[in-house]
Structure 1
Amino acid sequence: MAETKREIERKYEATSGTRVPDLTRVPGIAAVADRGVMELDAVYYDTPDLRLAADGVTLRRRTGGSDEGWHLKFPVASGIRDEIRAPLADTLPGELAGLLRSRVRGGEVVPVVRLRSARDVRHLQAADGTLLAELSVDTVHAERLPGGAEAGWTEIEVELADDTAGADEALLDAIGKRLRKAGIHPSSAPSKLSRALAETAPGPEAHAPGPRTDPGTAPATGTAGHAVLAYLREQADAIVALDPAVRRDLPDAVHQLRVACRRMRSAFKTYRKVLDRDVTDPVGAELKWLAGELGVARDQEVLTERLRGRIDALPRTLRLGPVRGRLRSWSAARARSGRRRALAALESPRYLALLDTLDELLADPPLRGPAARDARTVLAHAVLKDHDRLTARVDRALALDPGRDLDVALHEARKAAKRARYAADAATPTLGKPARKFAKRVKSVQSLLGEHQDGVVAREALRELADQAQTAGESAFTWGLLHGREEAAAAAVEGELPGAWAKASAPGIRAALTR
């Protein structure tokens, strides 16, 4: 069974003659305990084209030391990685293979580097003996596989201890300051693997791993094609990067992956004069499918949080029957089903084919004539066209009386607002502040319309919960009360919409985009 560890560390250059200074002069460190030398032997795996290394992901099988086994590391921030560990085995454990699926696809990982290290370990301890951090002086021998060049170096690694109460990066900062005063400077390589790949490159023309996908023949900088493709690559990279986060059930991962799908699909529609729709429409349909499969779990999560908050806000005298327990059981069953559905989608051949299609599209983009034109003109026109579409939908909704037709119209307006906002976000690197301001105003309308739609969905759920309660012989009073409050909240949103829309549709906001 794999386990996850948050690794927070700093690396420093060293030589065989480097002497570590007295670290008890660092505030909080009372003692430095020598733990001896460990012999570590690690084989690092990657795809033949080094996709993992290009994304800062490392996979190794290591023997020796206290944590031998398979280690898969994902970057979190500079100097911070999440390490997923699995027991030592001859072949890659299935759980780790799944976390690599979006990058490896139907291929395989192969040995690329072998690192043998003599690790001289010291424990940095507090006055009560608590382990604060571990410092190691590593003498490393790297070998490119199979049978390639070799390299060697010495480095110092300082890592915060696991589960150390009160320990934070400030301690690493203080240790780093002390090391620098002793002439020991931070390493230019983010990891041993990256250094090994660079120093054992197979030829003088070789270099560190490049982008995960081949950028193909890129349009000229400053053109609409260049701007749109840059945005699409961001979303494609986000889908690949967020896949393992969804599998690990990390907070907000499903939502962010779904957003990346929606942003890319929206860009295909907004910038259809830049990219051929005969090519992008089928891809957009697959992105819609993926977002839909992911959305079941996310929508249930949002709905549950809303209903739980509504129940908690009620006085105890108005909570009749086991309302919390019923909500909990009702939600849990749907959450499990949604999670299974999301994971099944990520394991499907259809999903892997979509990832390959995205790579192919970005490597050989179906550009149309306007792709060669000035980005500012083309993108501003596309954003304004999406705003016109939003205007038509809001105007239609504002003309309707409260009821089912209005609910549907406001939902359609919400989708148009999201598309207009995404269009402005994509154009922001080109259009700058006017696009950011435009996106901010449209987002306020989108949020208002989203609140209304969440209320529509909540009312449907409350009717279902009331029916279940009544069938079970429980009071349905609380569910009916919450339904009424949701109706009141929807009416309040409907009352706010004209004012919010007036700000988002102000002529000056639109005019600024074309200046």
Structure 2
Amino acid sequence: MRCETAFRLILSECLEEVAINHAAVLAGDPNALHHTRIALTRLKAAIAFYGPMVADGEWTRLKAELKWLSVFLGATRDLDVAIENSKGSPEERMFRTARTEAFEALKDTLQSERYQQWFDGMWDWVGSGPWTTTQDRRAAQRRAVPVAVFHARRLARWHQKLCQKSRGLQGMGRNKRHRVRLASKRLRYAIEFSEGGLPADEYASWRIVLKHLRKGQQLLGELNDDEVRRELVESADARELRKRKRKAKRRKEHERKRRSHLLRRAASVYRKVAG
């Protein structure tokens, strides 16, 4: 199979998954939202994996729109995870209230013309985007490379990069650790994309790596969930503090006006007393 064909199949599968879950996401189903985010993450991983042969100006535009969409998907999904991890705690009610607000914004996004144009544009790009007709000889040669050859080379490169990035993991700050987690996801999905495209004996060694990646992704994911939950609580506390300050300011202004009003009336009365 040529790389061009494999790329189209992978992205079509991702977009179909988004379409299948669309109605359920709009109905508020947390699982459908989760599957949608996974599908879009796989889509981005596939485009990065095949990047040398498919990157073009239209993808740059579509990628910016996907980033816009991901903000709304991510905000609601973060709250779903926080709710799940806060069952019975004082924060659960707060997270559910915030989830309602975030979900309304997500619904507006998914029902917007902008979203529909992005989704249709993705299908058009996969089928007949500029990358499919570019006359660049090197890009055309890359698209014609057999999957087994390209995947073997690309997986080895991504694996090497992840090994370098993950050194000193325990001493890393959050941003670097986040980059390791994203690189792990991408490599994991790339290995999954490669099943059936690589010889069985060659894929067997990647299957072992895949097993470890899934475990590592789970652990780093749990750590990230804890950090996001803490940020959500801190953000809610900060909003509550601002709300209290605004309320105190309004109360103080009200008291000032009332005091001024009462003093004016009292002064008027005492002027009458003085004759």
Normalised by the shorter chain, which TM-score bucket? 0.7 to 0.9
Indicate the residue corresponding to 1:279 in structure 2.
58
1: distance between equivalents of 2:15 and 2:239? 42
> SS of the counterpart of 1:408?
helix
1: distance between equivalents of 2:157 and 2:164? 11
Indicate the residue corresponding to 1:161 in structure 2.
none
Q: Output the amino acid matched with 2:75.
A: V
Shift of residue 382 of structure 1?
1.8
CA contact under 8 A between 1:254 and 1:294: conserved in structure 2?
A: yes
- Structure 1 pair 241–465 and aligned structure 2 pair: CA distance change class (3 A): closer
Aligned-pair identity in percent equals 23
CA contact under 8 A between 1:394 and 1:413: conserved in structure 2?
A: yes
1: distance between equivalents of 2:109 and 2:80? 18
Indicate the residue corresponding to 2:225 in structure 1.
454
Aligned Cα root-mean-square deviation (Å) = 2.6
Once the two structures are superposed, residues 336-395 of structure 1 have per-residue CA deviations (whole angstroms, 9 ceiling, x without a partner) of 111111111111121111111112112214143211011111012222222223222211
Indicate the residue corresponding to 2:123 in structure 1.
359
Once the two structures are superposed, residues 229-286 of structure 1 have per-residue CA deviations (whole angstroms, 9 ceiling, x without a partner) of 1111101111121111211223401111111111111211121123134332332232
Shift of residue 413 of structure 1?
0.8
CA contact under 8 A between 2:30 and 2:77: conserved in structure 1?
A: no
- How many correspondences in the alignment? 231
Indicate the residue corresponding to 1:232 in structure 2.
11
Indicate the residue corresponding to 1:337 in structure 2.
101
- Structure 1 pair 466–246 and aligned structure 2 pair: CA distance change class (3 A): closer
Do residues 443 (structure 1) and 214 (structure 2) align?
A: yes
Q: How does 1:139-158 map to 2 (within 5 A)?
A: none
- Structure 1 pair 350–462 and aligned structure 2 pair: CA distance change class (3 A): closer
CA contact under 8 A between 2:34 and 2:77: conserved in structure 1?
A: yes
Indicate the residue corresponding to 2:191 in structure 1.
424
More strand by share: 1
- Structure 1 pair 327–346 and aligned structure 2 pair: CA distance change class (3 A): same
> SS of the counterpart of 1:274?
helix
1: distance between equivalents of 2:25 and 2:6? 29
1:294 to 73, 76, 89: 73
Indicate the residue corresponding to 1:132 in structure 2.
none
Unaligned runs of 5+ in 2: 133-138, 243-275
CA contact under 8 A between 2:91 and 2:233: conserved in structure 1?
A: no
Indicate the residue corresponding to 2:156 in structure 1.
384
- Structure 1 pair 279–347 and aligned structure 2 pair: CA distance change class (3 A): same
Once the two structures are superposed, residues 52-98 of structure 1 have per-residue CA deviations (whole angstroms, 9 ceiling, x without a partner) of xxxxxxxxxxxxxxxxxxxxxxxxxxxxxxxxxxxxxxxxxxxxxxx
- Structure 1 pair 468–370 and aligned structure 2 pair: CA distance change class (3 A): closer
- Structure 1 pair 231–297 and aligned structure 2 pair: CA distance change class (3 A): same
Structure with higher RCO (Cα < 8 A, 6+ apart): 2
Q: Output the amino acid matched with 1:242.
A: N
2: distance between equivalents of 1:330 and 1:423? 38
More helix by share: 2
